[in-house]
Structure 1
Amino acid sequence: MTSTLPKKDSPDVHLVVATPAENIAQTVANSTEWRGALTLEAYLRREEVLIAQDLTKDGGLTAWMLVYQPPDGGQRVVLCGCESIKKKALLAKGGKVEDVVAHGIASVFCPPKHRGKGYAGRMMSEVGERLKTWQVEEGHSSAFSVLYSDIGKEFYTARGWQPFPSAHVALPATSTPSNAAMPVSKLESKDLPELCAIDERLLRQRLAKESSSGRTAVALVPDCATLDWHHTRETFVATELNGGTPPEFIQGGRGALVEVKPGSRVWCYWTRVWTNPQEEAPNTLHIMRIVVEDGAYSDISPATEEGLEKVKDSPVVTAIAALLSTAQVEAERSGMKEVQLWNPTSTTLAAARMLDSTSAVVHREAESIASLQWYGEGSWQDIDWVCNEKYGWC
């Protein structure tokens, strides 16, 4: 069968939306790459649960396939596949903020027997074009699409997705909390709607300010639907690994909050990721998002040593350190090896160094490379991707 397949540019090769049967077959095929610590059977159930979430249900997730349709009308052959998730996003230019549509791409997979023939490259090029007008009102277009490459930067850059800053700071899990003076409150799922609404309001204000200089700023919206998708994924895996019962630590909160002063709070959301036991990558508690309520706060630039010196004595730094310390304890309690925070600002790096003076920013070159394809006017080089944090991953 493989020897009879056409070249990648054959007119008999097409990008299509998968049938339910094709999608299940592709999920089975890609399970070796994406199921992590789950069995195949559990992985298939997890995907069924996830597609029923608010973020992905009712067409929120699209399964794409590159297929070969034999000219004689025989059954088409799936060559490779991926998924896209419609996401709410914000675009700011000249101080004005607009609600836009964006797409996140996930689960890119080409079976080994079909690799080396250019199929995945053709699929991604065509998907990039289709997403420009996918699930938007007639006459409009999507603003951008994003993906998180685990194969370095070259492949997706050649297909239109430009690599953006992909850095993180990590802290070890520990059973000993820091001596932070600020009391910490755990966040539960019921707390998230109100906090997400506040976060979005603040994000709109900061995007307007960021874009007033003339550059265009974009951000994925860190809404409840997005957080619930991550938390549902986390709960499912934790329950499977605990013999079918949700472990106690899952009930211990979805994040944490500190009151810096009356009317000014700092909070974060987290999620745990279990890796394949055969892999070297550690189980990690990821800080999905850190929010500072103080309206005067505008530190959204990448961390620098100069910036760290300016903010290191701020009470906001102490508050974030208290959050990170709580996350370290939660990580230890749930079998995680470390806490990871993506694209730290000077303030968050200063907080990490309060807990571990050796904390340093790691720039990823091979895994989870945040990449963006811009569909609007001008060049991607004129775009600032704000709040490029773990919550946007899919």
Structure 2
Amino acid sequence: MELPHKDSPNLHLVVATQEELLQQQNDNSGEWKGALSLEAYLRREEVLLQLDLTKDGGLTPWMLVHQPPNAVRTVLCGCESLKKKALVAKDGKVRDVVAHGVASVFCPPKYRGKGYAGVMMSKVAQRLQKWQVGDGNAEFSILFSDIGKEFYTARGWQPFPSCHVSLPAKAELGEGLATSKVESGDYEELCADDQQLLRKRLQAMSSSGRTAVALLPDVTTLHWHQAREDFVARELHSGNANVMAGGRGAMVKMDDGFRAWCYWTRVWTNPQEEAPNTLHILRVVVEGEGHYDFGPASEDGLKKVQNTSAVKAVSALFQAAQLAAHQAGMNEVQIWNPTSTTLAAVKLLDANSATVEREKESITSLLWYGEGSWEDVDWVCNEKYGWC
């Protein structure tokens, strides 16, 4: 078959049929099945499609197809979008909005080098602005690039801060505040408290004239991460009771009565790859006015938060994460885009820990549809829970 030119009028962005989606999953399995077999990977994707986040149109499978008039269409490449709840704050006012997460961008090798993925993403960028929002607009869409910054920037998704710090897994807890486990049954109450705090803090920080946005850290999102984790744990480690012994997160009470907590997820990688098994901190929450900072970590910020109760509390959470990582056979604990508080907590446990700036993988990227320029937008709580 002669391949069409990328400017062909017969290239169309369509919502995939179930058969086309299954074929795309077969094709992209080599990239994303990780430690799972092909058969298990396909079962996992079927399970994930039944979750509250994805069912009933929550997930949309997009395909770029070549379809001349009166001819059968040929799928050239594909991706997915997930409808997400988000918050936008400007001039002290906080609004609930629709955002979209883009994931699973894949072009089969036989169709690469022809510009099809670029055409698809340009069409997706335009389509998502009006997708699933009635008469209004989506405020923004996000994605996490594993191919560097240039490709998606050219289609409108601007790279935002993408860094992380890591701590090694440990077999024992060190000194510090006592923690309790967070389990999935705690999600609903904790997410409600988190969202209330987040709205107040967004309201305060948006009075500066800039726009602050955040994906909503809700139960639906956490259950999606939990389902991915549970499926792989059952497939690979069903006989090991210690794997999930560390719970879903940890909580600590500070001296002043306020709480701090975090959620995490375990990610097992392909044994044939060099990437380590990692326990990812999905979200860190600290109660109390003045206890927590939203901005990226800085030298001045580190000086301000040193020896504070918030730093001691978060370091206790991270120690619990190190232990949970060890119990699950993980190599490390990873925290995305640390604030001064989270970085100070990491350095309290490992003074030599260095911030890693990601240049190729998991580049957090945002396409702004709202008023003004993306340059006036602060993506708040740009943590692992938002990954899709």
TM-score interval w.r.t. the shorter chain? over 0.9
- Of 201, 213, 218 in structure 2, the residue corresponding to residue 206 of structure 1 is 201
**CA deviation digits over 1:134-173, x for unaligned, max 9?**
00022x0000000000000000000000000001110011
Confirm whether residue 333 of structure 1 aligns to residue 327 of structure 2: yes
- Of 76, 79, 82 in structure 2, the residue corresponding to residue 79 of structure 1 is 76
Counterpart position of 1:132: 129
Counterpart position of 1:165: 161
Q: 5 Å matches for 1:81-100?
A: 81-100=78-97
Counterpart position of 1:11: 9
Distance 1:55 1:296 in 2: 33
Distance 2:92 2:360 in 1: 35
Confirm whether residue 310 of structure 1 aligns to residue 304 of structure 2: yes
Q: Is the 8 A contact 1:235 1:246 kept in 2?
A: no
SS of match in other structure, 2:34: coil
- Of 236, 239, 264 in structure 2, the residue corresponding to residue 241 of structure 1 is 236
Instruction: In structure 1, list runs of 5 or more residues that go unmatched.
Output: none
Q: Is the 8 A contact 1:202 1:295 kept in 2?
A: no
Q: Is the 8 A contact 1:37 1:274 kept in 2?
A: yes
Distance 2:236 2:208 in 1: 49
Aligned-residue offset at 1:298: 4.1
Distance 2:185 2:257 in 1: 20
Aligned-residue offset at 1:220: 0.1
Q: Is the 8 A contact 1:274 1:284 kept in 2?
A: yes
Q: Is the 8 A contact 2:247 2:324 kept in 1?
A: no
Aligned-residue offset at 1:177: 1.4
Q: Is the 8 A contact 2:315 2:346 kept in 1?
A: yes
Counterpart position of 1:291: 285
Aligned-residue offset at 1:245: 5.3
Give the letter for the 2:189 counterpart. E
Aligned-residue offset at 1:270: 0.1
Aligned-residue offset at 1:74: 3.0
Give the letter for the 1:335 counterpart. G
Distance 1:337 1:18 in 2: 38
Aligned-residue offset at 1:13: 0.8
**CA deviation digits over 1:203-243, x for unaligned, max 9?**
0011111110000000000000000100110010011012x
SS of match in other structure, 2:100: strand
- Of 99, 116, 120 in structure 2, the residue corresponding to residue 119 of structure 1 is 116
Counterpart position of 2:61: 63
- Of 360, 363, 376 in structure 2, the residue corresponding to residue 369 of structure 1 is 363
Counterpart position of 2:49: 51
Distance 1:105 1:344 in 2: 23
Q: Is the 8 A contact 1:95 1:208 kept in 2?
A: yes
Distance 1:219 1:65 in 2: 28
Distance 1:330 1:324 in 2: 10
* Cα 1:224/1:245, change in 2 over 3 Å: farther
Q: Is the 8 A contact 1:259 1:265 kept in 2?
A: yes
**CA deviation digits over 1:231-258, x for unaligned, max 9?**
110010011012x557443253110000
Q: Is the 8 A contact 1:238 1:247 kept in 2?
A: no
Q: Is the 8 A contact 1:238 1:246 kept in 2?
A: no
> What TM-score, normalized to structure 2?
0.98
SS of match in other structure, 2:244: helix
> What TM-score, normalized to structure 1?
0.97
Q: 5 Å matches for 1:178-217?
A: 178-180=174-176, 182-217=177-212
Distance 1:81 1:39 in 2: 22
Aligned-residue offset at 1:98: 0.2
**Count, aligned residues:** 388
SS of match in other structure, 2:52: coil
Aligned-residue offset at 1:295: 3.0
Aligned-residue offset at 1:277: 1.5
Confirm whether residue 390 of structure 1 aligns to residue 384 of structure 2: yes
Aligned-residue offset at 1:176: 2.2
SS of match in other structure, 2:232: helix
Q: Is the 8 A contact 2:292 2:341 kept in 1?
A: no
C-alpha RMSD of the superposition: 1.1
Q: Is the 8 A contact 1:239 1:246 kept in 2?
A: no
SS of match in other structure, 1:287: strand
Q: Is the 8 A contact 1:101 1:136 kept in 2?
A: yes
Distance 1:247 1:85 in 2: 33
Give the letter for the 2:112 counterpart. R
